[in-house]
Amino acid sequence: MKIDYSTNEAVTIAVIHGRLDGTAPALLRKELPLQLQKTPCLVLDCTALEYMDSGGLGALLACLRIAVGNKGDIRLAAINAKVKMLMELTRADKVFQIYTTVADAVTSYTNQGSRP
The structural domains of the chain, with segments of one domain joined by +, span 2-106
The domain 2-106: what is its CATH number?
3.30.750.24
Q: What is the pLDDT of residue 9?
A: 72
Q: What is the pLDDT of residue 116?
A: 43
Confidence (pTM): 0.90
d(CA 95, CA 83): 14
Element (H, E) at 19: strand 11-20
Q: What is the pLDDT of residue 114?
A: 46
Where the chain has pLDDT below 50, the residues are: 114-116
Is 60 within 8 Å of 74 (Cβ atoms)?
yes
Is 79 within 8 Å of 93 (Cβ atoms)?
no
The amino acid at residue 84 is K
